[in-house]
Structure 1
Amino acid sequence: MTHKKLILHVSLATLSGLMIFAPVATIPAQASSVKPSSAMLKKSNSYYKKHYKAIAKKYKFTYSAQTGLNKSGTIYVYEKTKSSYLKKSLSLAMNYWNSKLGRQAIKVGSKKYHTVTFSVSNAKASKSDDSDAWWIPSTKKVQIRNSLYADDLSVITNTTLYNSEKSLVKTANANLAAYKAGLSTTDPDYQSKLDTYQQQQVDYAKAAFDNQESNLKSGLAIKAREFEYANTLAHEFGHVMGLKHSPNKSDLMYWASGTNDIYNYNKVKNSSKGFSLVTSTDVARAKLAVKVHNARN
């Protein structure tokens, strides 16, 4: 099961083509609700055993994908990477789920004991598969594509600067308009004052832009990528728990889930935990999928 992110290419100001490739078939979005009720989450194990097929159909589960769960429904991840950046993303991804599920549903495993292995794949993207991450139930591997991961820094930097430039110009123009409105046109120094203030705004905007560009290149873009891949990995952990893609665009488990917050300079700069996309629907589905798993194992 794979994940594909939405990418904004600033130089072209166009969105890339998007497609999801699942191991067996692409999961179509449907309008019906996939959020289990509180009553459904309180059913007995015998009920889950008897109705597991109907439950899977209604709430979009794939039990065959739950190979990364132990018998108590917990995921133990072996971090087969030396990257401190990816380990930070993994830690955030685990916390996104654990904090919402109210238990340690995903834990750090070891080489000796684990139920899932996380690693980086050097497989090249192709026209038929350009996903950035995936979960392979048969090998119990969650992987990200290294080439896209590496390229992501320039995408984040360029997109953030594009957004910042628009914001800085908008603010400068608003300041100039307000200043102009407060000037008297009969003032003999009217034009001189206006020109001076305008140049001040231009200088301020340029200095702010240059500062942001420097900070992005010296580490802030890496931080934004950590936040982005936290959600990417959290999405894959959702698949590990047996969740198919959600038809709801706001859900973490939507096929092209993502947030533009990673392209917001100030939001990234001021955040320490990123921007979790886990919704109440994601949580309810995950709880039910694991309950059914535990009842059947």
Structure 2
Amino acid sequence: MRPTTYKLKRIKSKNTYAYSARLTQKKFRLATYSNKSFNVTHQEKLRVNGKYRIYYFAKNLAKPNVTGWIWRGYLTKTTPGPLSKTALNRLIASSPDLDPNNKILKLNPNVYRQFAKTFDKQYNVGNFAFPGLFFHDHATIYVENSPLQTVVSAAISKWNTALGADVFSLGNKGNSTLTIRFGNGSDAGWDGLFDGFNIQVDQKHFSDNSYVSSHSLTPRFKEKIRELSAQASQLLLQTNNELSVTQKNFEAQSQHLNAEIQGATSDVQRAQLQQQLDNLKANYQAADQQIKHDYNSQIEQIRQQIKADYQSEQGSSSDTLETNYWITVVTHELGHTLGLYHTPYQSDIMYAPTDNESESTLSPVKYSWNSPKDPNSPKASETATLSTRDIDRAKLTKLLGYW
């Protein structure tokens, strides 16, 4: 059920309690919290004294550590909060693009229920998982193919750490609610796919150790390329300036000598001046060639440095690059189970190059895109890092009751 705010009725009896799971222990007296508001997130049908009753799991809004299972007859649903759709849209417009900030994540629980479709479209989220995948905010994962075990464990750790909760855990075939296995996505153009029930990882590309490194470069290497490119640009600028100064000096001196040659009063003087002009031309040509030679030598050094760095990149970091990529793939697909659709930010785990992708997790999106909105940011596929936007949207889908 979606989180909903209820108010505890006025309870006079001191012998009426909230209970732990399965009503095995008393948690607190209801009379202490008469007329107080509670956030209800789950319900259970339990047999009490031979009759079935519906109990709600409730958390006190003022004291979140006060929780327990309360018979629904003691609770009344509160009316939706006073927030209008116009006011909500203003709040959304003031938050970062596709990133629900604290103001959005701390609204009255009824607002999420009342304006679920608005949140879906404004933050690219939706309820993608089939019923039963999450039980009490938790999914148990069975990894069918052992080579996937390491990356799945890493992806689970990333989401659990980011959300501060045990959202995913590893299980076996018998107790799992979600299976992750190899599939065939090469022809269809996907490396990972969530179909509402299971997650598949393309086996062909996963088994190809050169697949990722042949398509990606690490942020460290890209930064090195930028540095060397800047050096080459600066060197070209300096060389052009030096050539220009040398040429201007030659032209000024040759113009002066030509004037003296024209004004020479004897053949001997004219011959001497002509020899000086010839020497000047020879020196200028030699200097011009030397400047160009020095430039080409330094450019070749930069080329060799790039080549050496690239070879080192392929040797030393390809394993890390491969691992990070496949961790990102699984983390991305787990994001779909949480209700997250794609974003145009390549720094997000949930990034996709375009919004027009044929997946079973299609969702109405805030806007269309065909290129990243942050082209200069590090790619999450290379760092395997959840962004603030990824985490905040997952917190929002929790409030919307999608997991």
TM-score, normalised on structure 1? 0.60
Q: In the TM superposition, what whole-angstrom CA distance separates every residue of 1:76-103 from its partner, at most 9, and x where no partner exists?
A: 43444443xx555445533443343233
Q: In 1, distance between residues paired with 2:233 and 2:350? A: 40
- The equivalences for 1:192-203 within 5 A come to 193-203=290-300
Residue 385 of structure 2 is matched in structure 1 by: 276
Higher relative contact order (CA 8 A, sep 6+): 1
The answer for the alignment partner of 1:132 in structure 2 is 191
1:120 partner amino acid: F
Report % sequence identity: 19
2:159 corresponds to which of 97, 105, 110? 97
Q: What amino acid is aligned across from residue 306 of structure 2 in structure 1?
A: F
For 1:1-297, what aligned pairs fall within 5 Å after superposition? 35-36=99-100, 38=102, 41-42=105-106, 47=110, 51=114, 54=117, 57=120, 60-62=125-127, 64-65=129-130, 67-71=132-136, 73-83=137-147, 89-109=151-171, 113-121=175-183, 123=184, 125-126=186-187, 129-138=188-197, 141-150=198-207, 153-154=210-211, 156-157=213-214, 160=217, 168=228, 171-178=231-238, 181=241, 185=246, 190-191=287-288, 193-246=290-343, 251-256=348-353, 274-280=383-389, 282-293=390-401
* 2:199 counterpart SS class: strand
- C-alpha distance 194-242 of structure 1, shift in aligned 2 (>3 A): same
Letter in 1 for 2:383: G
How far apart, CA to CA, are the structure 2 residues paired with 1:148 and 1:278? 25
1:158-200 deviation line (CA, Å, top 9, x unaligned) = 6549978787455324224335646862686634542443243
Q: 1:207 to 1:50 in 2, by over 3 A?
A: closer
1:7 aligned residue: none
1:135 Cα deviation (Å)?
1.4
Q: Name the structure with the higher strand share.
A: 2
How far off its partner does 1:156 sit? 3.6
Look up the equivalent residue of 2:194 and give its one-letter code. W
Deviations 1:229-254 (A, max 9, x none): 33322221111113344577765434
AA aligned opposite 2:182: V
SS in 2 for 1:153: coil
Shift of 1:104: 3.9
- Partners of 1:48 and 1:118 lie apart in 2 by 34
| TM-score, with length taken from structure 2 | 0.47
Q: Distance in 2 between matches of 1:236 and 1:221?
A: 23
Count of residue pairs the alignment pairs up: 249
* Cα distance, 1:35–1:200 mapped onto 2, change above 3 Å: closer
- SS of match in other structure, 1:198: helix
AA at the equivalent of 1:284: D
AA in 2 matched with 1:131:
W
1:246 touches 1:254 (CA, 8 Å); kept in 2? yes
Higher helix proportion (structure 1 or 2): 1
User: In structure 1, how many angstroms separate the alpha carbons of the residues matched to 2:345 and 2:236?
Assistant: 42
Assess, with a 3 A threshold, how the Cα gap between structure 1 residues 80 and 208 changes in structure 2: closer, same or farther: farther
SS at 2:350 equivalent: coil
Residue 113 of structure 1, CA deviation: 4.8
Q: Which runs of 5+ in 1 are unaligned?
A: 1-30
1:14 corresponds to which residue?
none
Closer, same or farther in 2 for the Cα pair 1:48/1:90, shift >3 Å?
farther
Listed as ranges, the gaps of 5+ residues in structure 2 are 1-91, 250-282, 355-370
1:165/1:82 Cα in 2 relative to 1: closer, same or farther (>3 Å)? same
Q: Is the 8 A contact 2:212 2:322 kept in 1?
A: no
- For the pair shown, the structure with the greater C-alpha radius of gyration is 2
Amino acid aligned to 2:329? T
